[in-house]
Chain A
Amino acid sequence: MSDKPVLSFKFRLRHPGFELALAHDMALAGITALFGHSGSGKTTALRVLAGLEKGADGWVSYDGEPWQTPAHENVFVPPHARAIGYVFQDARLFPHLSVKGNLDFAAKRASLRDNGTDFETVVGRLDLEELLTRRPDSLSGGERQRVAVARALLTKPRLMLMDEPMSALDSRRKAEILPYIAKLPEAFGVPVIYVTHSVDEVASLADTMIVLSKGRKVADGPVADTLARIDLGPTTGRFEAGVVLEATISSHDVEYHLTSLDIAGTKFTLPLINASPGTNVRLRVRARDVTLATEKPVSTSSRNIMEGHVVEIIEEPDTPFAETLVEIPGGRLRARITRRSTAELGLKPGTKVFAQVKSTSLTGGAIIER
């Protein structure tokens, strides 16, 4: 697509004890994660894009349309006139209306733009047929968010803004709603900006990410590259740190309950997953699940051994750990090992290593169908 809509913004917003100052230009496609810890300003940034923060001063424009200019130029398109869909963290369904009433509320006020987002399609896509007559207070958290997503879609948005829609859900509910969100851009032709503090969600859903910290942008780029950046450790979180690898399912071993993946020629084995061979998946490998060896390990229980070389080592002072970035065919791995190991193995940039990943670490949210 050559006509990707461009979102550009440059604004400043002061709250007591906090200042958010962001500038960014990007052509939107798929899902863009706005990532950061609580207090990083990511939700506030999303609210500025929606026009919900009146105190922001600066520019916001989308697809060539100015939504906001600095105060003296006096352009401010109010939220109701912006072609956005907004999904709040707490769903914010109207308690006085049924599920259908909530959906109708949006559909009735939708812009006249016809993008094929009709009522039945949305209800069908999000499996809401059974829920239409229910009241919001009788829905589970996951159901509520599905209704909220459908309601936002029915406004026929040109841009979907989602504020941690899964943060209030337990992991089972998350797994239930994740596929719906992942398919939004393709199914409804609408780019998504997705606010989250979860590396898992970024790795599962997003194609591009912007990293915020203390009200500033500290990094942006494709998810795989950005998550592999060791220098962002404090922001992306050490325990959750890791990389994302693109892979294809090559075969299943039913007897041993295993699935084989192909990552740029390297075979990777993990517990059986429910998808047919040929399916493209995304694999999230955490730094803490990767070990390194300088000689090819023999007689090891680990299924997944990949040859590569060290690109970068960052020792963390005052801790036992060192973060090591290893180039492998088809991507990069991050390994969190002890500083003593790096010394004893004599690791330095360029050293040839064998990286091992435990199969059992690659379960559940680590594999995402694309």
Chain B
Amino acid sequence: MTDAGPIILTLGLAAVTTVVLLLLGTPLAWWLAHTRSRAKPIIEAVTALPLVLPPTVLGFYLLLLFSPNSPLGGFWLTVTGSTLAFSFIGLVIASTIYSLPFMVQPLQTAFEAVGRAPLEAAATLGATPRDAFFSVATPMALRGFLTACVLTFAHTVGEFGVVLMVGGNIPGRTKVISIAVYEHVETLNYAEAHVLAGGLLVFSFVVLVTVYALNRKAPINVG
């Protein structure tokens, strides 16, 4: 199997991106769901930008940001001795930004559906805001969390343009499935392309069925 590398790399990238986004996206979604700040539409727009921008635009700016001449890229080079561009970490950062709306939007919707009422009830029952978040908001928004994670994972698996721009095609480091498919097609290696493309198609279909099935199932009970 010459193609195990891209598959493992892709799944690893998607898993790491999902975890990172879960940690970053949850507070952001919580803030968006509860804030009365006037900055809310601006932050919402920024969050949704990756949905509408061509991946090449996003990739272009990220490439500039990762360059050793930029503050971030320069800092990274001095600390780690390698560049951010064309590295796995660089791909994680790019994927995190690229998949941000897929984590934040389902979570925000879920938190808005929970609303303030159960949190107020939790407070009057002696729960601190942190306690109420974990013991009431999270279980009540559990389906939102599942949807957000599944979509983020799947969307990261399916990205192409951004990876091509900031990651290139380095086996074992940045050569993910979509890039491998592209390469196979370019070199007229259709048999290999079929394996990866078909696999991705089935995977994406299963994921979407899972999400829609989750969305119509009765409320998730955890107690």
Contacts and interface: CB of A to CB of B under 8 A. Distances in A.
B140 A80 contact: no
Contact of B124 (A94, A111, A137, A152): A152
Contacts of A96: 136, 139-140, 142, 219-223
Interface stretch (A61-69, A82-90, A230-238): A82-90
Interface stretch (A101-109, A195-203, A221-229, A315-323): A101-109
A111 B125 CA distance: 10
Interface of B: 117-118, 120-129, 131-132, 135-136, 139-140, 142, 219-223
Interface string A38-66: 00000000000011100000000000000
A50 B129 CA distance: 15
Given A96-B219, A96-B223, A101-B223, A80 B117 contact: no
Interface string A100-134: 01000110011100000000000000000000000
Contacts of A144: none
A84 B124 contact: yes
Interface of A: 50-52, 78-80, 84-86, 88, 90, 92, 94-98, 101, 105-106, 109-111, 135, 137, 151-152, 155
Contacts of A135: 221
Contacts of A137: 219
28 contacts: A51-B123, A52-B123, A52-B124, A79-B120, A80-B123, A80-B126, A80-B129, A86-B121, A88-B120, A90-B117, A92-B121, A94-B118, A94-B136, A94-B140, A94-B223, A95-B219, A96-B139, A96-B142, A96-B219, A96-B221, A97-B222, A105-B127, A109-B125, A109-B131, A151-B125, A152-B124, A152-B125, A155-B126
A88 B126 contact: no
A153 B126 CA distance: 12
Contacts of A155: 124-126
B124 A98 contact: no
B126 A109 contact: yes
A79 B222 contact: no
A84 B129 CA distance: 16
Interface centre among B120, B139, B222 (most CB of A within 10 A): B120
Contacts of A84: 124
A-B residue pairs, 5 tightest by C-beta:
A109-B126, A86-B124, A101-B223, A97-B223, A92-B121
Contacts of B123: 51-52, 78-80
Given A92-B117, A96-B140, A105-B135, A80 B124 contact: yes
A167 to B, nearest CB: 16
B120 A52 contact: yes
A85 B125 CA distance: 7
Contacts of B122: 80, 94, 105
B136 to A, nearest CB: 6
Contacts of A97: 222-223
B219 A88 contact: no
A50 B127 contact: no
A136 B127 CA distance: 20
Given A79-B123, A94-B121, A95-B140, 6 more contacts: A79-B124, A80-B127, A80-B131, A96-B139, A105-B125, A152-B124
Contacts of A50: 124
Interface centre among B123, B126, B220, B222 (most CB of A within 10 A): B126
Contact of A88 (B117, B127, B129, B223): B117
A84 B220 CA distance: 30
Contacts of A86: 121, 124
A199 to B, nearest CB: 27
A98 B125 contact: no
Contacts of B121: 86, 88, 92, 94
A80 B131 CA distance: 10
A177 B32 CA distance: 40
Contacts of B221: 96, 135
A149 to B, nearest CB: 13
B223 A92 contact: no
A101 to B, nearest CB: 4
A50 B125 CA distance: 11
A98 B223 contact: yes
A85 B139 CA distance: 23
Contacts of B139: 96
Nearest to A98: B223
A50 B136 CA distance: 19
Contacts of A152: 124-125
B148 to A, nearest CB: 18
Nearest to A52: B120
Contacts of B128: 78, 80
B36 to A, nearest CB: 11
Interface centre among B118, B122, B223 (most CB of A within 10 A): B223
Contact of B127 (A95, A101, A109, A111): A109
